[in-house]
Amino acid sequence: MPQIHAAHVNLPHFQVLDPVIRLGIVGSNYGRLVQLPAFRADPRCDVVALAGGDATRTAARAREVGILKAYGDWRALVDDSEVDAVAIATIPSLQPEIALHALARGKPVFAEKPLANDLASARAMRDAAQASKLPTMVDFNFPPIAAWACAMDMLDAGAVGPLRHVAVHWHVENRAVQLRLRNWKTDGATGGGVLGNFVSHCLHYLEWFGGPISGLSARIGTLPDDPQAETTVSMSLTYATGVLISLSMSCASYLGIGHRLEFFGEDGTLVLFNPTADYMRGFELYHARRPATALTRVAVEDPLDPQYPDGRIAPVSRLAGRFLDAIEKGTPARPNFADGYRVQVLIDAARRSHETGTWIAVPAETQ
């Protein structure tokens, strides 16, 4: 049987692979429910191992989904010679050590957002990825949604003309808030809270759509009866072009409007809007160009999405495909750890703005 050698994929430190890329997943919740079917959708990938914090529970979950190897220690999975690449689905504070360990062993890494719980750890991940020349990917999974890709194409084609301003409204109530759960999704110290869990997505897709953000101010809010639960943020941001951005996000909004992203231009308006409780599935695209008096829906079909019970799987499968392309063909993998680090820089700037009550300038190139 032919083999893929490191030289063929321009990965000088990467071990010899069989034609099927053998993947290990660290994290038996999101990793099993979303990453697993996303990677299994690609015939080039075989998910061969699953790791979780509890060995007995992880073994049971692995059996349920047909994964042969189960580990109660992520190190054992990463060190397994039959694992060629690693996908991580843990809380941000645990992710850096796992990623650095995998890169040091010559294994490409697919990671979750945000990269880490602090800027120094994210920088270490970026630097290790660049030094290793191995493919890395960060699971920023809004841009691969079909309606979002169409919106980008329309903006590139001049659908609204020169931008005047951009607005993000994302108001939902998540399960952690509903049940008053103590976990990373409301805890900023572990890399989560409203900034890590939600706004990290916004910061990435805002730069994906419009280029570098040059500065921002932010205020972070908590629950009235729980000052440790970070649930709400209000931000003002500026693109390097001078275009203003307003962002309001809350995961403590009972019957909130959902997720709405608006591009207002000199010649028209473009809107992405998802009023449903499903974070990924449900986006509709609307457009109007002068002299229209109302927005018109733009029909966008995604043949991939209806195949899956979970709306997150289709966009993640597209990212997984890019990651596998990078391993197999040596093509660039984006968004990578450098992109994840850039988002961490913006998260850090938002926290400093909240703490100091000042506007924070953000250089386009961050070291």
The count of C-alpha atoms lying within 13 angstroms of the C-alpha of 359, restricted to the half-sphere facing its C-beta, is 7
Q: Alpha-carbon distance 267 to 283, whole Å?
A: 23
DSSP three-state, residue 329 = helix
Domain residue extents for the chain? 6-141+315-335, 146-303
Encode pLDDT of 206-230 as tens digits. Answer: 999 999 999 999 999 999 989 889 9
Q: How confident is the model at residue 1 (pLDDT cuts 50, 70, 90)?
A: very low
Encode pLDDT of 34-71 as tens digits. Answer: 999 999 999 999 999 999 999 999 999 999 999 999 99
Tell which wins on pLDDT, 12 or 184: 184
Indicate whether 95 pLDDT > 70: yes
Mean pLDDT of the chain: 93
Query: What are the phi and psi torsion angles at 358 (to 5°)?
Result: -125, 165
Q: How confident is the model at residue 16 (pLDDT cuts 50, 70, 90)?
A: very low
For position 11, what pLDDT does the model report? 33
For position 9, what pLDDT does the model report? 30
Indicate whether 6 pLDDT > 80: no
For position 366, what pLDDT does the model report? 56
Tell which wins on pLDDT, 175 or 142: 142
Identify the CATH homologous superfamily for domain 146-303. Dihydrodipicolinate Reductase; domain 2 (3.30.360.10)
For the domain made up of 6-141+315-335, the CATH class stated in words is: alpha beta
What contacts 160, CB < 8 A, 6 or more positions away? 263, 264, 265, 266, 267, 268, 269, 270, 287, 289
Calculate the alpha carbon distances from 162 to 157, 241, 243 in Å: 11, 11, 10
Indicate whether 17 pLDDT > 70: no
Encode pLDDT of 275-301 as tens digits. Answer: 998 999 999 999 999 999 999 999 999
- Going by their DSSP bridges, the two strands 69-71 and 45-51 should be labelled as parallel
For position 277, what pLDDT does the model report? 86
Segment 79-94 shows an average pLDDT of 97
Q: What percent of the chain has pLDDT over 70?
A: 94
